[in-house]
Amino acid sequence: MINLQSATTMWTYNDWANGRVLGAAAGLADEALDRAFDMGRGSLRRTLLHILAGEHVWLQRWQGRTETPWPDEEEKAPVADIARCMEATSGDRAAFLAALGDGDLAREVIYRDSKGSLFAASLGDMILQGITHSLHHRAQGVNMIRRAGGGIVELDYMTWIRKPA
């Protein structure tokens, strides 16, 4: 089980990493954003929308709310719009996490997924799932950016955490 301090640190890292990926993607033309890839959600834009949707949906699930429908990943949302929505979700998530204590992470949460199926899991496990879901799809996005000619995006945790001695 994850503790609250680690979860908060990892979400702060995720926000930093999302910003780096979105920054690199913002410099790409629509053709590169929509280029077909045999990974992720099939294109960089769709993968970015999926990361956003996942973070938003997991927050709803943590709160035991019925999730809103996932966005249409075929939408041609500009990267700047995706970034604004991610920032808003990040703020809502940070407020939710700040109101928790470590004891809350063991609490069972019951939620319905987008198909209406009922599930239960500990809040801590659900928070950890949200963290790892983003890591997985961001790695795919970085690979797509590189293959589309957008350069190398460094997301290593130590790149974020280390400071000059």
Summarised one tens digit per residue, pLDDT across range 8-29 is 999 999 999 999 999 999 999 9
- From residue 104, alpha-carbon distances to 32, 60, 81, 137 in Å are 43, 16, 33, 27
For the chain, which domains are there? Answer: 4-153 (1.20.120.450)
Return the pLDDT at 162: 87
* Mean predicted lDDT score pLDDT of the chain: 92
pLDDT of 117 over the 90 cut:
no
pLDDT in tens, 60-97: 999 988 777 776 667 789 999 999 999 999 999 999 99
Contact (Cβ atoms closer than 8 angstroms) between residue 46 and residue 73 = yes
pTM reported for the whole predicted model: 0.91
User: What backbone torsions phi and psi does residue 110 show, to the nearest 5 degrees?
Assistant: -105, 130
Return the pLDDT at 164: 77
pLDDT of 40 over the 90 cut:
no
Cα distance between the two ends of the chain: 33
Q: How confident is the model at residue 116 (pLDDT cuts 50, 70, 90)?
A: confident
Euclidean distance between CA atoms 1 and 4, whole angstroms: 10
Query: How many percent of the chain have pLDDT more than 90?
Result: 78
Burial class (CB in 10 A: 0-12, 13-18, 19+), 125: middle
Return the pLDDT at 71: 67
Return the pLDDT at 64: 83
Q: For the chain, state the CA radius of gyration.
A: 16
What stretch of H or E contains 111?
strand 108-112
Please give the structure tokens belonging to residue 147. Answer: 């293959």
